[in-house]
Structure 1
Amino acid sequence: MKKIALLLLLFVAFQASAQEFHFIPKIGLNFANMTNSGGSMKPGLNIGASGEVMMTNNFAIEPGIFYSMQGTKGKESGVSVKFKNDYLNIPVLFKGYVYEGFNLFAGPQLGFKVSSKLKGSESGTSVSTDALSDCFKTFDFALVIGAGYQSPMGVMFSLNYNIGLTNTIDKDNLAAAIRNVGVPGISASDLDGKSRNGVLQFNIGWRF
């Protein structure tokens, strides 16, 4: 992960020396879910920064690095469960300015899990564990698609959806962890071993 981050910074530095470059710190709201989980979207935050390299007047490449709170949550018959997976995401976006400050963008994203936590509660009894380091895979790959607006004053707004393309869970390890901690309302048979991340993001930033 350190090597990838270093290569990203070198790429930005090289491009900035030859092209128009903008630094864009961002913060935003996530609505995250996991396929095949039976859950609903879990709110969270994402925060980080990107570097916009203007290749032409209307086309840019925008690599970035973000801390992103993801996972899913669910509630049924008085039982609530929440999976909290945090990632360090590195998107590389290809952005086209289609009309004044309005833009469309898309590109690949590398994700590296930095923490996992499972919370469950039923009838006043709650269980929380962070012993899930082996239950969710450490690497995630996604496709980012979105649109945004860049104001002349520097403020930017964006809306995008990150489509997970890789399986995120290790079925055997996750089932064993659920049995060991006794999370109410969940059994190993509830999992089919395949789940992908999906994250809707609203972001605001400032383009320097």
Structure 2
Amino acid sequence: MLRILFLVLAFAFSTSINAQDIKYGFRLGFSITTFEGEDSGGKDTNFRNGFSLGAFTSLPISSAIRFEPGVDFATKGAKTNLDNVNSLVRNGYLDIPLLFDFQLGERFSIIGGPQPSFLLSSAMIFGEGDDKITVKGDDAKALWKDNDIAGVFGLGYSPSKTLQIQLIYEHGFANISEISSSVYNRAIKTTVKAYF
């Protein structure tokens, strides 16, 4: 995973970049996330709300293509109801989106690229109300793999030169469970990016 990261970064920095065209920014996203796969719980697994917050650099590769590596903190997970017991998984990740922005005219763009992720925290909540049981820290993290890799695809709309609104789909390719062989992250995200 780190090899991919270094190769993409080396490619980006090996291109001729005019320093005046380099942009920086912050982004805030709101998401719905879930698990998918044979061991994910199927129809008993539902979306949960999440968010992401991070920063990025925007590097021009050509007049219509920009490479935008970034670092985000993102919450992911799912809600399940198995045998009439509600549960909620809240995993916190350090995402490293390595995205390309293909501009379609002045306002619209197509976004895509790989996203390595590293698990930072985990919490699992079983039941509701007074019967609620919370498992967190190392006990919860031990159930999940430390790394994930996802493909990110989406559309962007820029109402101005300093703002972009994105609708993004994240499709995890790596099994994230330490106790099952087929559990994958999925997310749909709306993100607001501010350039400066």
The two structures share one fold, judged by TM-score above 0.5: yes
How large is the Cα RMSD of the aligned pairs? 2.8
Q: Shift in Å at residue 149 of structure 1?
A: 1.2
Percentage identity across paired residues of the two chains:
23
Which blocks of at least 5 consecutive residues in structure 1 are unaligned?
A: 172-191
| Residue pairs, 1:128-167, within 5 angstroms | 128-130=134-136, 131-167=139-175
Q: Could you tell me the TM-score, scaled by structure 2's length?
A: 0.84
- Residue 127 of structure 2: SS of its match in structure 1? strand
Which blocks of at least 5 consecutive residues in structure 2 are unaligned?
A: none
With over 3 angstroms needed to count, the CA separation of the structure-2 counterparts of 1:126 and 1:109, relative to structure 1, is same
With over 3 angstroms needed to count, the CA separation of the structure-2 counterparts of 1:153 and 1:123, relative to structure 1, is closer
* Structure 1 range deviating more: 194-203 or 34-43: 34-43
Paired amino acid for 1:61: F
With over 3 angstroms needed to count, the CA separation of the structure-2 counterparts of 1:61 and 1:140, relative to structure 1, is same
| Separation (CA, whole Å) in 2 of partners of 1:166 and 1:5 | 16
Query: Deviations along 1:125-157, whole A, 9 cap, x unmatched?
Result: 110011222210000000000010123251210
Q: Could you tell me the TM-score, scaled by structure 1's length?
A: 0.80
Residue number among 112, 115, 118 corresponding to 1:112 in the alignment: 118
- In the alignment, which residue of structure 1 is the partner of 2:98? 92
- Does 2:77 match 1:71? yes
Q: Shift in Å at residue 123 of structure 1?
A: 7.2
Q: Which has the larger radius of gyration?
A: 1
- Cα pair 1:78 1:122 within 8 Å, conserved: no
How many residues were matched structurally?
188
| Residue pairs, 1:1-208, within 5 angstroms | 18=18, 20-35=21-36, 36-37=40-41, 38-75=44-81, 79-121=85-127, 124-130=130-136, 131-171=139-179, 192-208=180-196
Query: Deviations along 1:82-124, whole A, 9 cap, x unmatched?
Result: 0111100001111110121200011000000000111011574
* Structure 1 range deviating more: 46-55 or 30-39: 30-39
Following TM superposition, the consecutive aligned residue runs of length 4 or more in structure 1 with deviations greater than 6 angstroms are 1-16
